[in-house]
A and B are shown apart, each in its own frame.
Chain A
Amino acid sequence: MITINSIKKGIVIDHIKAGLGIKIFNYLGLDKAGYSVALIINADSKKLGKKDIIKIDNEIDLDFNVLGFIDPNITINIIEGENIMRKIKLNLPERVENVIKCNNPRCITSIEQEITHKFYLVDRKKGLYRCEYCDEIHKL
């Protein structure tokens, strides 16, 4: 396994389902980061078999709702002085806004300009969300 130095003050996003790391990397705009960032893909994991990890050598604002929506199983470690100060487990959020768009071509959101795309959770186990406008199911 590739070794990446530990970070002094920043964030480690761990237990990302293999393949989703790049999605989170892009969502957080880390390609434009002016600080050290490591994206590790396909790392060995006892729990998941393979996992992705992102290490960010900086404090940045994270929207836990959106991250939880992309992958509810990730763990966020807040690092200070090279130690884990806080561990945050994510869940699927009850509601998401402007993260995904409704796939129903008959939904008003397909034509209404600048509308907020809203979804609410209907089945946590199955990862099912409903569009607040047309009730179309969106499966994660």
Chain B
Amino acid sequence: MLKGKHLIDPMDFTVEELDEIFELAERIIQNPSEYSHVCEGKLLATLFYEPSTRTRLSFEAAMLRLGGKVLGFSQANSSSAAKGESVADTIRTVECYADIAAMRHPKEGAPKIASMYANIPVINAGDGGHQHPTQTLTDLLTIRNLKKQLSNLTIGVCGDLKFGRTVHSLIKAISRYENNKFVLISPNELKIPEYIKKEVLEKNNIEFLEVEKLEDVIDKLDILYMTRVQRERFFNEEDYVRLKDSYILDKKKMGNAKKDIIVLHPLPRVNEISIEVDKDERACYFKQAKYGMFVRMALIAKLLGVDK
């Protein structure tokens, strides 16, 4: 039973609970009209202490498509936080008005504090560089729908693997499914942190390979998960010039990829995927954004206990 639970960390839910959410999301995709009134009379509070148009709109669209309503704020200076109110006090006030809350906060752990005080479900919509569990749910639902499975896959993750929280969460989440392999593609400075290798990959006997260049491995991948490499993350200009093109996906590199590869990206994209790739039917990052809304619909319905 997911009713009344919070979602703070991507690993808060068991694989079975995630399956429940994905199955509901798939039923919603198949028959959206059947779910278009299940949240009638319910309110979602979107408590966004920092701007994130994409995530906030996804949550709002999800609630509105379930027949519910939304209220909230989209930056800290338009909220009581500007007057110095604590997260604990804000959530205890908000729960008087709303049935469920989604919180984005620049400070790590803020949604966790909210969940400790709240009597309504709290969803972490991103806390600093820490966790963004609904992005992980989005990624899993996308893979499940487009590859028809969450196991036996070779997953390439490319770009900034050191600071990219979406990548860390995705690796942890996919490691719970059988027989997946990872190809970790990044410059030396931005390799995956040791603790992910030791505590997640090696601990679960998961095969992985670390490489510097995307073009060397793209032909082996079932999924390519792209993230952005920022110029300022490189230690020296020489390495940046040498490697920068390796982290930009273009038509030429796609030419060597499998026919059924899917390319994902948490968005927003800057220049790491060339616009010319958008026309390729294997580019699935905009579909991924749509799955993001569906998985948030399923999540909200499950946490409110209004799923059929």
Contact = CB atoms under 8 A, between A and B. Distances in A.
Nearest to A136: B108
Contacts of B113: 108, 112, 115, 133
A115 B88 CA distance: 9
Contacts of B130: 106, 134-135
A133 B87 CA distance: 13
Contacts, number: 45
A115 B128 CA distance: 19
B129 interface: yes
A109 interface: yes
Interface of B: 86-88, 105-110, 112-113, 127-130
Given A112-B87, A112-B88, A113-B86, A106 B128 contact: yes
A36 interface: no
Contacts of A108: 87, 105, 107-110, 112-113, 127
B198 to A, nearest CB: 11
A113 B88 CA distance: 9
B107 A107 contact: yes
Interface in A72-130: 104, 106-113, 115
A134 B108 contact: yes
A131 interface: yes
Nearest to B110: A108
Interface in A20-46: none
A110 B107 contact: yes
B109 A131 contact: yes
A106 B129 contact: yes
B86 A134 contact: no
Contacts of B110: 108, 112
B108 A133 contact: yes
A111 B128 CA distance: 14
10 contacts: A106-B106, A107-B108, A108-B108, A108-B109, A108-B113, A112-B87, A132-B112, A133-B113, A134-B128, A136-B108
A104 B108 contact: yes
A50 to B, nearest CB: 34
A110 B113 CA distance: 13
